[in-house]
């Protein structure tokens, strides 16, 4: 069973690397959204620094959503998903493998790109450690919660847009606590608030690691049979 | 009549620069070009880093300019090469043109990135920040970088080379028409928000002592671009041959 | 796969899709070494029945009992399903595809070569699936049957896109599978000439 799990994960990673789509495209999207921001609100450094954590989180969220719709759809369209469910791996673990693959090829590259974009928004130095930490904790939640939306819309026409709409509300806590962690460091709140935000974010992420596979598997069962 | 002329012109093109001939010619050119590149860039770097005086205003940081300016120049030239090659590919269906356009993109993108990086490094001591939205050149360069990335992403996404070439060529041409508009809008946006005294990258005048290293670096980088372009084009042609061989392998020996 | 007697019995099976009753009251039984060929007009429910057997489609009513296999596993987990879709990734090579399914479905990482040999794909092992013709893609899809030993084969029009030589190869593989005590349920328009094949005609009564 472990072997099947890693075979599936390795296959997804290999496909992501070969297609060059997925993660690279998400990082590109992230970069473009962040770069458009100053054109919209002006190049004022203080202003940019102030909105930087929030904008980085929102853009990261959108970039993660963008790649979500292919999570099960590609396997559904070519018939692989049927065969995957006929293996010995429970559907829940299939969802875990897919979501983990999504995080490794999309979430992680986005977190790596974030500090660079922080520089462009003049994010103050002390905000980087909590921001990166929060993103490392929060992005798995994006992948695992997103898996539910992707599973719900598998086989649906224009499912990508629908999946985004369905998942967005689930992302609200991640956004609030994620921004909270970085904001606290720049002096928005007292230091204690930042620690709290990080802990709450961690809790949300851990909960999503359970909720995502269960919900995703249930949604796939409902959709496929 | 015009159509007939066009066809014969296209045929003549094929005769002069078919891939096989290109492979033979480029193989002979590659070593001399590489040597000349090394020579010019080496000399340029020596003048730029050691044999020229520091700037009276900017001090040693001015030396970044010797890399930054040629990079920015090649970033734009790369897009020019890409756009022209795309136009040739669309109009004359020249077999090497889309190879050239595809190969130029990553090199141009790399020079654009280098220009952005050096601009940012230069800006750090000047502006006190790694990135300054008040500098229209740097911001335009960023948009150019996006155009390159989009172009490369399109090539990477479409599997079949002929279709990818067509689509990418259209994108490159639309981009080249749009570039001046983008550039103008960025400058306009910039002057709108201009804080009183932003120190500009270009500076008021260029001292004569800077011209020699700058010229050498410019020539060296241009040759570097050409050399890399040839290498990449050769690689791309070989990649397509491999693809064709594989297709033949799947088709020809299918039913053993 | 053990030689111990396999048996599959289906009683009073019904299938409903999108509110429409595709078939009902379907019963048959099958033993190891036997093949069941499903025939019937379009929409009679051949594909639906195969998907139900594979566990890919809910059973509206009725009982399916499979005995003689691994009691821990469901029928779907002991069956191969070859549907209309080839389930191939264009960027994965022939070898990688078979190795993946071998590891994933059967947890056997090594030895995908025999499956490629059996389907005549050995010389294409390093080729990405994108380069394959329709018939080669189908054969690669069928290679799963050999790569991972499972007692039950559920085949939905397996001969589509195959040429005569490949059909003969497939029939030989099916015969040998039956000879080892396996069972096959196949929907096909082509007379495969299987020695032990029984026929089940779907949809005749649904026409009323």
Check CB contact of C25 with chain B, cutoff 8 Å.
Answer: no
Check CB contact of A40 with chain B, cutoff 8 Å.
Answer: no
Q: Residue C62 — left, alpha, or beta (φ > 0 → left; ψ -120 to 50 → alpha)?
A: left
Query: Using CA atoms, how far apart are residues A217 and A85, in angstroms rounded to an integer?
Result: 10
**Cross-chain residue pair A83–C86, CB shorter than 8 Å:** no
Per the CB < 8 A criterion, the answer to whether C146 and C170 are in contact is no
Handedness of CA C173, C174, C180, C183 (dihedral sign): positive
Q: Nearest Cα to B53, choosing from B217, B208, B219, B220?
A: B208
Check CB contact of A25 with chain B, cutoff 8 Å.
Answer: yes
Instruction: Please compute the mean of the pLDDT values over residues A193-200 and round it to a whole number.
Output: 84
Check CB contact of C165 with chain B, cutoff 8 Å.
Answer: yes
List the helix and strand counts (H, then E) for chain C: 5, 8
**Cross-chain residue pair B250–C120, CB shorter than 8 Å:** no
Burial code (b: 16+ CB inside 10 Å, e: under 16) for C98-123 equals: bbbbbbbbbbeeeebeebbebbbbee
Q: Which residues of B touch A25 (CB under 8 A)?
A: 153
Q: What is the per-residue pLDDT for B168?
A: 92
In angstroms and rounded to an integer, the radius of gyration of the C-alpha atoms of chain B is 22
Per the CB < 8 A criterion, the answer to whether B79 and B225 are in contact is no
Strands C152-156 and C7-17: unpaired
Chain B contact partners (≥3 CB pairs within 8 A): A, C
Tens digit of each residue's pLDDT (9 = 90 or more) over A135-193: 999 999 999 999 999 999 988 877 778 888 889 989 999 999 998 887 776 665 556 77
Q: What is the per-residue pLDDT for C118?
A: 85
Chain A contact partners (≥3 CB pairs within 8 A): B, C
> Helices B136-157 & B161-193, crossing angle to 10 degrees?
160
C184, β-bridge pairs: C35, C153
The ipTM of this complex is 0.87
Q: Which of B156, B250, B252, B253 to mutate to test the interface with C (most CBs of C within 10 A)?
A: B250
Tens digit of each residue's pLDDT (9 = 90 or more) over B140-189: 889 999 999 999 988 888 877 888 888 999 999 999 888 888 888 888 88
Question: Based on the number of CB atoms within 10 Å of its own CB, is B54 exposed (0-12), middle (13-18) or buried (19 or more)?
Answer: exposed
Q: What is the per-residue pLDDT for B254?
A: 41
**Cross-chain residue pair C89–A224, CB shorter than 8 Å:** no
Q: What is the per-residue pLDDT for B93?
A: 83
N residues, chain C? 208
Of C85 and B3, which is predicted with more confidence?
C85
Confidence band for C208, pLDDT divided at 50, 70 and 90? very low
Q: What is the residue range of A139's domain?
A: 2-224
Q: Which of A34, A43, A117 to mutate to test the interface with B (most CBs of B within 10 A)?
A: A43
Which string of DSSP letters, residue by residue, matches A192-215? HHHHHHHHHHHHHHHHHHHHHHHH
Q: What is the per-residue pLDDT for A210?
A: 94
Q: Which residues of C touch A77 (CB under 8 A)?
A: 85
Q: Which residues of A touch B106 (CB under 8 A)?
A: none
CA distance B44 to chain C (A): 45
Per the CB < 8 A criterion, the answer to whether C7 and C31 are in contact is yes
SS (H, E, C) chain B: CHHHHHHHHHHHHHHHCCHHHHHHHHHHHHHHHHHHHHHHHHHHHHHHHHHCCCECCCEHHHHHHHHHHHHHHHHHHHHHHHHHHHHHHHHHCCCCHHHHHHHHHHHHHHHHHHHHHHHHHHHHHHHCCCCCCCCHHHHHHHHHHHHHHHHHHHHHHCCCHHHHHHHHHHHHHHHHHHHHHHHHHHHHHHHHHCCCCCCCCCCCCCCHHHHHHHHHHHHHHHHHHHHHHHHHHHHHHHHHHHHHHHHHHHHHCCCC
Q: What is the per-residue pLDDT for B255?
A: 40
**Cross-chain residue pair A21–B149, CB shorter than 8 Å:** no
Return the residue of B nearest to C120 by Cα.
B256
User: Where do the structural domains in chain B lie, given as residue ranges?
Assistant: 27-194+211-239
Q: Nearest Cα to A34, choosing from A117, A122, A138?
A: A117
Count: domains in chain A: 1
Of A196 and C194, which is predicted with more confidence?
A196
Instruction: Please compute the mean of the pLDDT values over residues A81-103 and round it to a whole number.
Output: 93
Which string of DSSP letters, residue by residue, matches A99-112? HHHHIIIIIHHHHH
Instruction: Please compute the mean of the pLDDT values over residues A60-70 and round it to a whole number.
Output: 88
- Gap between the terminal Cα atoms of chain A: 23
Query: Smallest Cβ distance to C58: which of A4, A87, A225?
Result: A225
> Residue C55, SS3?
coil
Per the CB < 8 A criterion, the answer to whether B95 and B18 are in contact is yes
Check CB contact of C133 with chain B, cutoff 8 Å.
Answer: yes
Handedness of CA A128, A134, A140, A141 (dihedral sign): negative
Confidence band for C4, pLDDT divided at 50, 70 and 90? low
Return the residue of C nearest to B243 by Cα.
C131
Query: Smallest Cβ distance to A119: which of B131, B142, B189?
Result: B131
Tens digit of each residue's pLDDT (9 = 90 or more) over C13-53: 888 887 788 888 888 888 888 889 988 888 788 888 999 99
Per the CB < 8 A criterion, the answer to whether B135 and B201 are in contact is yes
Does A89 score more than 80 pLDDT? yes
Does C182 score more than 80 pLDDT? yes
* Window from A70-74, B13-17, C97-101, C187-191 with minimum mean pLDDT: B13-17
Q: To the nearest whole percent, how much of chain A has pLDDT over 90?
A: 49
Check CB contact of C120 with chain B, cutoff 8 Å.
Answer: yes
Query: Using CA atoms, how far apart are residues A217 and A24, in angstroms rounded to an integer?
Result: 27
Tens digit of each residue's pLDDT (9 = 90 or more) over C142-167: 999 998 989 999 999 888 888 888 89
Low-confidence ranges of chain B (pLDDT < 70): 1-17, 56-58, 192-207, 252-256
Domains and CATH numbers, chain C: 7-87+134-207 (3.40.50.300)
Per the CB < 8 A criterion, the answer to whether C62 and C52 are in contact is no
Return the residue of A nearest to B145 by Cα.
A32
Return the residue of C nearest to B256 by Cα.
C120
Does A38 score more than 90 pLDDT? no
Chain C contact partners (≥3 CB pairs within 8 A): A, B
Query: Using CA atoms, how far apart are residues B74 and B142, in angstroms rounded to an integer?
Result: 14
**Cross-chain residue pair A119–B149, CB shorter than 8 Å:** no
Q: What is the per-residue pLDDT for B206?
A: 62
> Residue A162, SS3?
helix
Contacting A with CB below 8 Å, chain C residues are 54-58, 73, 76-77, 79-81, 83-89, 91-92, 96, 100-101, 103-105, 107, 109, 144
**Cross-chain residue pair B156–A21, CB shorter than 8 Å:** yes
CB contact set of B104 (below 8 Å; sequence gap of 6+): B78, B81, B82, B85, B229, B232
Does A1 score more than 80 pLDDT? no
**Cross-chain residue pair A79–C79, CB shorter than 8 Å:** no
- Gap between the terminal Cα atoms of chain B: 50
What single DSSP character describes residue C5?
P
N residues, chain A? 225
Instruction: Please compute the mean of the pLDDT values over residues C72-87 and round it to a whole number.
Output: 90
> Residue C29, SS3?
strand
């Amino acid at each position: 069973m472990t072997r099947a799990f890693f075979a599936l994960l390795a296959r997804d990673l290999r496909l992501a690397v070969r297609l060059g789509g997925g993660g690279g495209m998400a990082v590109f999207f992230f970069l473009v959204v962040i770069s458009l921001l100053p054109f919209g609100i002006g190049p004022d450094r203080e202003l940019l620094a102030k909105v930087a954590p929030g904008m980085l989180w929102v853009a990261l969220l959108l970039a993660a959503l963008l790649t979500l719709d292919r999570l099960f759809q590609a396997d559904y369209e070519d018939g692989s998903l049927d065969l995957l469910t006929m293996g010995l791996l429970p559907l829940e673990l299939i969802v875990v493998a897919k979501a983990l693959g999504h995080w490794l090829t999309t979430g992680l590259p986005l977190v790596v790109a974030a500090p660079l974009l922080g520089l462009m928004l003049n994010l103050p130095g002390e905000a980087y450690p909590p921001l990166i930490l929060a993103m490392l904790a929060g992005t798995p939640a994006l992948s695992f919660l997103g898996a539910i939306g992707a599973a719900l819309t598998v086989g649906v026409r224009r499912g990508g847009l629908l999946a985004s709409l369905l998942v967005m509300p689930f992302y609200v806590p991640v956004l609030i606590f994620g921004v909270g962690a970085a904001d606290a460091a720049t002096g928005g709140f007292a230091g204690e608030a930042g620690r709290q935000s990080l802990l709450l974010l961690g809790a949300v992420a851990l909960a999503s690691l359970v909720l995502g596979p269960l919900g995703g598997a249930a949604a796939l069962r409902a959709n496929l049979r | 009549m015009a159509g007939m002329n066009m066809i014969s012109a296209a045929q003549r093109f094929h005769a002069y620069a078919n891939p096989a001939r290109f492979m033979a010619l480029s193989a002979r050119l590659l070593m001399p070009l590489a040597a000349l590149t090394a020579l010019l860039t080496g000399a340029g770097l020596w003048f730029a880093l050691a044999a020229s005086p520091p700037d009276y205003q900017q001090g040693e940081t001015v030396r970044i300019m010797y890399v930054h300016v040629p990079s920015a120049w090649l970033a734009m030239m790369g897009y020019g090469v890409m756009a022209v090659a795309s136009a040739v590919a669309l109009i004359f269906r020249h077999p090497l043109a889309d190879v050239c356009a595809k190969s130029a993109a990553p090199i141009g993108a790399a020079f654009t990135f280098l220009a952005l990086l050096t601009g940012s490094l230069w800006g750090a001591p000047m502006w006190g920040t790694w990135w300054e939205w008040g500098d229209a050149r740097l911001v335009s360069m960023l948009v150019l970088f996006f155009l390159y990335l989009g172009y490369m992403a399109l090539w990477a996404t479409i599997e079949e080379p002929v279709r990818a070439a067509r689509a990418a060529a259209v994108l490159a041409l639309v981009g080249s028409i749009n570039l001046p508009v983008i550039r103008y809008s960025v400058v306009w946006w910039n002057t709108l928000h201009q804080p009183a005294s932003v120190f500009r990258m270009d500076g008021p005048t260029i001292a004569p002592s800077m011209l020699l290293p700058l010229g050498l670096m410019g020539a060296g980088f241009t040759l570097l671009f050409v050399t890399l372009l040839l290498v990449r084009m050769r690689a791309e042609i070989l990649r397509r041959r491999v693809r064709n061989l594989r297709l033949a392998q799947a088709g020809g020996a299918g039913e053993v | 796969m053990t030689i111990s007697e396999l048996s599959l019995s289906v009683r009073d099976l019904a299938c409903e899709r999108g509110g429409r009753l595709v078939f009902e009251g379907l019963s048959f039984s099958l033993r190891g070494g036997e093949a069941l060929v499903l025939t019937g007009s379009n929409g009679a429910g051949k594909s639906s029945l195969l998907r139900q057997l594979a566990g890919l489609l809910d059973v509206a009513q009725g009982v399916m009992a499979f005995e003689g296999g691994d009691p821990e596993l469901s029928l779907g987990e002991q069956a191969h399903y070859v549907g209309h879709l080839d389930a191939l990734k264009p960027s994965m090579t022939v070898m990688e595809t078979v190795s993946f399914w071998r590891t994933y479905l059967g947890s056997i990482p090594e030895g995908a070569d025999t499956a490629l040999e059996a389907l005549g794909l050995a010389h294409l092992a390093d080729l990405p699936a994108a380069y394959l013709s329709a018939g080669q893609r189908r054969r690669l899809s069928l290679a799963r049957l050999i790569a991972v030993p499972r007692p039950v084969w559920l085949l939905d029009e397996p001969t589509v896109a195959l040429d005569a030589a490949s059909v003969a190869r497939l029939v030989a593989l099916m015969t040998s599978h039956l000879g080892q005590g396996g069972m096959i349920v196949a929907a096909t328009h082509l007379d495969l000439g299987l020695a032990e094949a029984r026929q089940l005609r779907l949809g005749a009564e649904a026409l009323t």
